[in-house]
Chain A
Amino acid sequence: MKRTDLSANNISKCFLQPGEDRLLYVLEDMDFEIKEGEFVTILGPSGCGKSTFLNILAGFETANQGQTFCCGEPIKGPSPERAVVFQSPVLFPWMDVKSNIMYGLKQVGKKKGEAQKITAEYISAVGLEGFENYYPCQLSGGMQQRVALARSLILNPKVLLMDEPFAALDAQTRYSMQQLLLRLWESNRQTIVFITHDVEEALLLSDRICIMSKRPGRIIEEISVPFEWPRPISLTGSGDFSQLKSHILSILLD
């Protein structure tokens, strides 16, 4: 029986609507669970509260109701054991690639020599050798997102929370980033919660797909993705794949 890494029970989150006295419920009675080493995508229409949910798991926001746990402990604020990859890279523009990736190790008090060795490993793991001394503004969007991925993975987090990390990239770059993520996942078996609105991405990447309803959001259907690893791009042309895709789309568009 695998350990449950993250769980959310009965989460509700509301905001005060600007200019009105009414509360806007973004999430209502949301339940969620993810086991160690699992790769789960959360799929939902835009505005359904999936990013808000991720922010609650990350500890950036707190739920108005309900509880969240990471490995049995209640979540109180952000922590390196739940690393986040945002939709935009959010790198520190005044630091070069190496310092951006090493930042977390410095914060947790790793010795300098060791930190540099680990950083070099991660730089090569995300394919950025030769770009160590570049600044974020000198990199393409895809390369910036590689840096963001490396600086989060370097802390060896229990859970990786990803908020539509590849949505802003062009199709080709997105595909290569997906492959990179899967390669890294194969070797580390991180637990991953991955938010997306792209059905194909969800089907190509994850073990399980949680589909959210329109606002107020909660999970209305869970699908175990039946395809074997590795999943080549040709899979997207197969009958099973398109059948599952149209099934998911029909739920989303309902």
Chain B
Amino acid sequence: MHENNGRLGFTGLILPVALFTIWYIATLDGGVPAYLLPSPLALALAVIDFTAGSERLGPYSGTLLVHTIASVQRVFTGFGLAAAIGLPLGFLTGRLALAKSSLDPTVHLIRIVPGIGWLPLAMVWFGVGEKTTVFLISLAAFFPIYVNAAQGAASVSPLLIRAGRMLGANNLTIFTTVIIPAAMPSTVAGLRLGLGLSWAYLVLGELTGVTHGLGAVMMDARMLGNVEMILVAMIFIGLFGRISDLILVGSFRKLNLLKRGYEE
């Protein structure tokens, strides 16, 4: 993989550079009007203004921190709830036939309805805003976390379990010291999917009307005809999504839980 990075780096640059050039030329002399697509320079200024407030461009100057804190809190709560429920249920389903037969069919039945389909009901139940957003995030993130934790726990090598047994582990410690760590590579894949979905459903929830949050910025900016702020919010959501993914993977790697078997 790594030897190819140099060449990939070059060929990988062609498309973005081309797109950027087209974008630059198209917005150069008002070819494409600014209310549809801002120029690269205008966008860059908006990003700087949103972050530092130095340009005093309007209501969003220097408000990045406020909106980020609001959004990150929602993702954190929603994703945390999904993980807190999804991981234990997934591990149990993966190992115990009783848990699998009693839980799995219902979970998969609910999973058929796409997360977006829950929006109207969530608004009826929880009203507009905070609770609805957290509900949608945890609902959407739950399924990949649950399914991958179950899959990981179910496919732990029986030999590893035998090894733990003959070294004195009991029913409980076999779970905590062998099954859960061995299930980690698949479980972390599920957590990453869940975290990605959390950011997607954050935007959906915040579009319904909250005062603070990156999704709220997008919806407000649309009404104000402020396209560059829509794009700025999109950029930061992408950025934070990527950062949170790196933190997630990094912390599991630090615990050495992503080491693969020597047989592979």
Contacts and interface: CB of A to CB of B under 8 A. Distances in A.
B169 interface: yes
Contacts of A175: none
A107 interface: yes
A60 interface: yes
Given A92-B178, A94-B184, A107-B168, A78 B259 contact: no
A143 to B, nearest CB: 11
B259 A90 contact: no
Contacts of A108: 168
A135 B168 contact: no
Nearest to A157: B166
A214 B261 CA distance: 34
Contact of B166 (A80, A96, A137): A80
A65 B198 CA distance: 55
Interface stretch (A66-74, A81-89, A195-203, A237-245): A81-89
B261 A93 contact: yes
A79 B168 CA distance: 6
Contacts of A82: 166
Contacts of A96: 256
Contact of A80 (B159, B168, B262): B168
Interface string B141-177: 0000000000000000101101111111110010001
Nearest to A83: B166
B160 A92 contact: yes
Interface residues of B, number: 25
Contacts of A84: 162-163, 166
Contacts of A144: 262
A151 B167 contact: yes
B80 interface: no
B165 A136 contact: no
Interface residues on A, range: 20 to 34
Contact of A103 (B162, B170, B177): B177
B34 interface: no
A110 to B, nearest CB: 10
A91 B262 contact: yes
Interface in B116-163: 157, 159-160, 162-163
Interface in B233-264: 256-257, 259-263
B167 A104 contact: yes
A83 B166 CA distance: 6
Contacts of B173: 107
A137 B262 contact: yes
Contact of B168 (A60, A90, A104): A104
A93 B166 contact: no
A91 B163 CA distance: 8
B159 A93 contact: no
B162 A89 contact: no
A107 B256 contact: no
Interface centre among B164, B167, B169 (most CB of A within 10 A): B167
Contacts of B169: 107
Contacts of A79: 166, 168
B181 interface: yes
Contact of A94 (B157, B163, B165, B256): B256
Contacts of A95: 256
Contact of B259 (A59, A86, A94, A151): A94
Interface of A: 58-60, 77-80, 82-84, 86, 88-96, 103-104, 107-108, 135-137, 139, 144, 151-152, 155
Interface of B: 157, 159-160, 162-170, 173, 177-178, 181-182, 184, 256-257, 259-263
Q: Give the top 4 A-B pairs by smallest Cβ distance, nearest first.
A: A107-B168, A104-B167, A78-B165, A80-B168
20 contacts: A58-B162, A58-B166, A77-B165, A78-B162, A78-B165, A79-B166, A80-B168, A84-B162, A84-B163, A86-B163, A88-B263, A90-B163, A93-B259, A94-B259, A103-B164, A107-B169, A107-B170, A107-B173, A136-B261, A152-B167
